[in-house]
Amino acid sequence: MESKLRRILRFMELTDVFFAVFDEEDRLIFANRKYRETFYLAAEEYPLWPDLMRRNFHARRGTVISNPDFELWLKGTLSRRGKVPFRAFETDVHDGTWLWMTETVDEDGWMLCLASDITPLRAQGRTLRQERDIALRSSLTDELTGIANRRFLMERLSDMVEREPETGRSPAGCFAIFDVDNFKQVNDRFGHAFGDRLLIGFAQKISTLVRRVDCFGRLGGEEFGLVLPRMTPAEAAGAVEAMLEDVGALRPFSEHPEFAYSFSAGIASAARREDQADLYARADAALYKAKRAGKNRVCLAD
């Protein structure tokens, strides 16, 4: 078996196909020669994917990122990256290479990236396809916060309840709805610009606290949703309780250092093949139960 594995690894090094594996934390675990050369990785370097992209962006190498605000681009990309079992797309590289890339994600959030150089084959229509891809990303991104929008979030919710269970894994998962407490008072007291800043900061904070396989997005206004595949209600409640603590420690406005805020959350456990609207309604009812109970808390659906 060891000799076979060594031979497989040797082929990976010889091939002109780009090959890389990232774990559930989005840290590089393995990359072949072609991938490392193209994305400027040393032989024994295993960075987090966001760190790799940030470094290459500032050095103007690797993947071409048209958005001049890298952090905004990264926030939106991470809210969608690894949330679907498989996706394929084209990407441009600063050296002029044009790649056809696929991402395959397993149940634990590990990702296999494969890419092929299609520069000689797909030159015609490249600009049109780029514009199409940009428009598609925009249609799945919340304009204010830069994270996934309602459309993308609800698609991931459907994926969770429709996906066949893996052997030995029974729960489909949970869906949570977050609502920022007393948000209207923030707008009334400080103005809408401060309200927007609060929502942006809230989205950024929660995004750092979710797993690769989770999907966090804005539903609208001060409401956000979180899809938690394969989590039991108790696990989901524990995760959200920790988020409540972290958000409670934030001070979002340097001009008003005394100001703090909270959010309320409702969680519903999903049944396999459950109607998406029913699951949403149960999570929404749990949210309002949390609001009536005094806010700054999480409640589970009945």
Please give the positions annotated as active site.
222
Beta strands in 120-202 (DSSP E): 173-180
CB 245 within 8 A of CB 256: no
CB 181 within 8 A of CB 264: yes
Percentage helix, strand, coil for the chain under 3-state DSSP, each rounded to 5 = 40, 25, 35
Q: Which residue has the tokens 């790649």?
A: 99
Q: What size, in residues, is the chain?
A: 302
Paired sense of beta strands 173-180 and 263-270, if any: antiparallel
Token pair listed for 2? 């060891």
Written as one string, the DSSP assignment of 253-284 is: -TTSTT----EEEEEEEEPTT--HHHHHHHHH
Paired sense of beta strands 98-105 and 86-92, if any: antiparallel
Determine the Cα–Cα distance for residues 162 and 229; give it in Å rounded to an integer. 11
Determine the Cα–Cα distance for residues 281 and 268; give it in Å rounded to an integer. 9
Determine the Cα–Cα distance for residues 49 and 14; give it in Å rounded to an integer. 24
Q: Which residue has the tokens 């750092």?
A: 208
CB 79 within 8 A of CB 215: yes
